Amino acid sequence: MRLGVAVDAPQYAALGDVLHYLSEQALPPGSLLRVPLGRRDTLGLVWEQVSEEVPADPGVTLRPVGEVLACLPPLGEPWLRLVEFTARYYQRAIGEVALSVLPPELRKLDDTALAKRLARLRRQWGLPSPEGEAQPKKRRRAVAAAQEALPPVPPPEPERPPLMPDQATVLEAIAAQFAAETPTCQLLHGVTGSGKTEVYLRAAEAALAAGKQALVLVPEINLTPQLEARFAERFPGRRLVSLHSGLTPAQRLLNWLGAHLGHADLVLGTRLAVFCPLPRLGLIVVDEEHDPSYKQQDGARYSARDLAVYRGRLEKVPVLLGSATPSLESWQQARTGRYQLLAMPHRVGQGELPKVRVVDMAQQPKPPQGREPPPLCPPVLAAVQERVSRGEQSLLFLNRRGFAPVLHCAACGWKSGCPHCSAWRVFHKGDRTLRCHHCGFTERVPTACPDCGNLDIEPMGRGTERLEEQMVALLEGVQRPDGSPARVARIDADTTRLKGSLEQQLAAVHAGEVDVLVGTQMITKGHDFRNVTLVVAVNPDSALYAADFRAPERLFSSLLQAAGRAGRDAEAAARSEMWIQTWTPGHALFAALRQHDYAAFAASQLEEREMAGLPPFSHLALLRAEARDPAVAEAFLRAAREMARAWLAEHGEPPVMLYAPVPPQIAKVAGLERRQMLLEAGHRGALQRLLADWVPGLHALRAAHRGLARWAIDVDPLSI
């Protein structure tokens, strides 16, 4: 019989969604097997059984399938439908999506090797062997002896904190969704420190009590270990696995197998975990649902948050989106009643939100001629020094790593640009390198200006590495209550490269071994710093006036999340503050921030978006093209634009705006010139119908534009 098999072939290969193979046995959809593809043997996924009534392509000789991974049960129908929706909506090949979300280790294994991995999983988790599988006599005796010697001891009942009134009300609403035939997606808007994690724990507890599995998504790897520890402490005796890119391939495979086989009760992971097969799924939680990390930025550019909502509707399970600063898309869904809005406006235990102070930098003393201004203005520096002397902690937020964004020669004007990108190479003082954060190109810092030989080349601007160094100098002589000097530490992507380093640095902060913590957005979300009473936004203006229409939303979210690190301890809450250094103190964003009023900020932003016809009141897609020669990329996009116009004229669809090709903010990366074309529609269906018919034609169009390196469609882009 014939089988339609999905293989990992990118869409631009134009092989179609599935390839047909011959099989001696009928295999259900979702079965994994090896199949020949060209000269190689690859992993495939049975997608469908092809009816004998469907005529075979003339002149095509079908090849037989290879070995079936029979020891693994097929992936279920809901999982297949989730993959199909992802491929259709984000305009990718089914096989490209399906195979890319499976553990890479599966590609290397045959049925025998996979059976050994399953046996290892059962040994590690103490699971019985399948009926009929032989077990070594020595091991059977050891297991029996252990069972006789040690009667089963039930795990201790975990301590659960008392619920606040807000939490109790929210949990009642969530419980109602468990009982609903068709659950409604819920948006939990809880201020920082309001106890959202406790709500997640109680909701997961309800799912587990009903014999179901719970899936909890977090935006970044660095948030996974601490949340995993909370869940492990609350659910002793339950099997908990994590899924993220920080795991080894073997760990990821074992955790995935535990979830797919139904042995794992709880799955915590980053965006890829939304595709984890769960036969007993009963709850999906998306923590920090606003975070841009949930949007994949290469390959199938999917949104894990949006797919979580779709999966909940598909499998009829409750979906809980949580955030102190919800995305405007989710907020609008709640305003229109499509989502149920749950509010937790109060902090747990007598904690208070910090007082927000906005400092007008234009009113601060000017530095002497030729001198760079200090990182903190006098009142902010005094506030930091006061905290150190009281034994309290301060957090300085600067979302730019490295020592300085650029090196500069005052004599000739040379700057440390990247030869492969239209971006500056960042100066990292620790290893004396100039590093491009876009393509990775790295060189040693030159001893003199490469253009004129001037020995006096200087850093321009400030990153976290430089801020840390400057704060050490500014706090020299400032003493802690015990008379010891102030201690400054930095947490960013450069200081947390080694495995376990982030956990060690966070433990030092929690232990009180750090007085002033300097960092990027890594330290502004998800962390419960009990002794932080001061947060400083050092230079937020650079993000306020970015070209992207989402810039104010992202900045407000970052600042409100950063403010939420202070005031979590009831005793120090009254004196907790956030200081914002800005040259535009009158901006409406800061007025809303002073009041911690997300609703007011969201209302003003949505009004502006509606007037401008921007999401969530319109639907966007970007066609991106890359080539060595920018003219090639632009020609491809112009031809694609004419093709789309012809389709719209023929089909009489609702209007879809097709903008002219333009370069993005960083127009050149790794030697390739990038151009993009925006599509905008008032109706999602109209945009999707155009894309479905238009994208296949782009494959043929590419062949007519020699020199085009690659092209890609990004549906619902996060930045334009």
Q: Mean pLDDT across the chain, nearest whole number? A: 90
- Per-residue pLDDT at 155: 61
Using CA atoms, how far apart are residues 185 and 308, in angstroms rounded to an integer? 10
What is the H or E stretch that residue 393 is in? Answer: strand 393-397
- Per-residue pLDDT at 139: 47
| Domain chopping of the chain, boundaries | 2-102, 165-344, 355-403+462-608, 405-460, 619-715
- Per-residue pLDDT at 652: 77
Residue 147 has pLDDT above 50, yes or no: no
Residue 137 has pLDDT above 60, yes or no: no
- Per-residue pLDDT at 39: 86
Using CA atoms, how far apart are residues 432 and 447, in angstroms rounded to an integer? 10
- Per-residue pLDDT at 502: 85
Domains 165-344 and 355-403+462-608 share a fold: yes
Smallest CA-to-CA distance from 618 within 654, 665, 569, 593 is with 654
Q: What are phi and psi of 82, to 5 degrees?
A: -65, -45
Using CA atoms, how far apart are residues 711 and 699, in angstroms rounded to an integer? 9
Using CA atoms, how far apart are residues 16 and 96, in angstroms rounded to an integer? 11
Q: What is the pLDDT of residues 21-46, one digit of tens each?
A: 999 899 999 999 999 988 889 999 99
Residue 427 has pLDDT above 50, yes or no: yes
Using CA atoms, how far apart are residues 567 and 540, in angstroms rounded to an integer? 21
Using CA atoms, how far apart are residues 140 and 130, in angstroms rounded to an integer? 14
Residue 200 has pLDDT above 80, yes or no: yes
Judge contact between 715 and 302, C-beta under 8 A: no
Using CA atoms, how far apart are residues 715 and 691, in angstroms rounded to an integer? 9
Class of domain 619-715: alpha beta
Using CA atoms, how far apart are residues 678 and 661, in angstroms rounded to an integer? 8
449 is in an annotated binding site: yes
Fold of 165-344: Rossmann fold (3.40.50)
Q: What is the pLDDT of residues 612-661, one digit of tens each?
A: 999 999 999 999 999 999 999 999 999 999 999 999 999 877 789 999 99
Average pLDDT over residues 87-97: 94
Superfamily of domain 355-403+462-608: P-loop containing nucleotide triphosphate hydrolases (3.40.50.300)
Average pLDDT over residues 208-222: 93
Which strands, in side-by-side order, build the sheet including 2-7? 19-22, 2-7, 40-50, 32-37
Running DSSP on this structure, what letter comes out for residue 476? T
What is the H or E stretch that residue 88 is in? Answer: helix 77-89
What is the DSSP track for 156-219? Answer: PPPP-PPPPHHHHHHHHHHHHHHH-SSPPPEEEEE-TTS-HHHHHHHHHHHHHHTT-EEEEE-S
Question: For residues 51 and 100, which has the higher predicted lDDT (pLDDT)?
Answer: 100
Residue 220 contacts by C-beta under 8 Å, 6 or more apart in sequence? 270, 291, 293, 522
The pair of structure tokens assigned to 187 is: 């948006």
Q: What is the pLDDT of residues 641-654, one digit of tens each?
A: 999 999 999 987 77
Out of 273-287, 315-329, 469-483, 524-538, least confident range: 524-538
Q: What is the pLDDT of residues 299-331, one digit of tens each?
A: 889 999 999 999 999 999 999 999 999 999 999
ω into 654 cis (within 30 of 0): no
The pair of structure tokens assigned to 160 is: 């659960």
The model carries a pTM of 0.92
185 is in an annotated binding site: no
- Per-residue pLDDT at 141: 54
71 is in an annotated binding site: no
Q: What is the pLDDT of residues 2-12, one digit of tens each?
A: 899 999 875 55
The pair of structure tokens assigned to 252 is: 């990821």
pLDDT band for 149, please (50, 70, 90 cuts): very low
Q: Would residue 428 be called left, alpha or beta, if left means φ above 0 and alpha means ψ between -120 and 50 degrees?
A: beta
- Per-residue pLDDT at 140: 47
Residue 58 has pLDDT above 80, yes or no: no
Q: What is the pLDDT of residues 391-415, one digit of tens each?
A: 999 999 999 999 999 999 999 999 9
Smallest CA-to-CA distance from 286 within 233, 236, 339, 348 is with 339
Out of 264-273, 496-505, 686-695, least confident range: 496-505
Residue 144 has pLDDT above 60, yes or no: no
| Amino acid in the structure at residue 47 | W
- Per-residue pLDDT at 132: 47
- Per-residue pLDDT at 223: 73
- Per-residue pLDDT at 570: 64
Judge contact between 2 and 20, C-beta under 8 A: yes
Average pLDDT over residues 147-164: 66
Residue 130 has pLDDT above 80, yes or no: no
Average pLDDT over residues 96-104: 94
Torsion of CA 663, 666, 672, 678, to 10 degrees: -40
| Domain 2-102 CATH (choose: 3.30.230.70, 3.30.70.20, 1.25.40.340, 3.40.1440.60) | 3.40.1440.60
Average pLDDT over residues 64-78: 95
Using CA atoms, how far apart are residues 272 and 309, in angstroms rounded to an integer? 14
Q: What is the pLDDT of residues 156-186, one digit of tens each?
A: 677 889 999 999 999 999 999 999 999 999 9
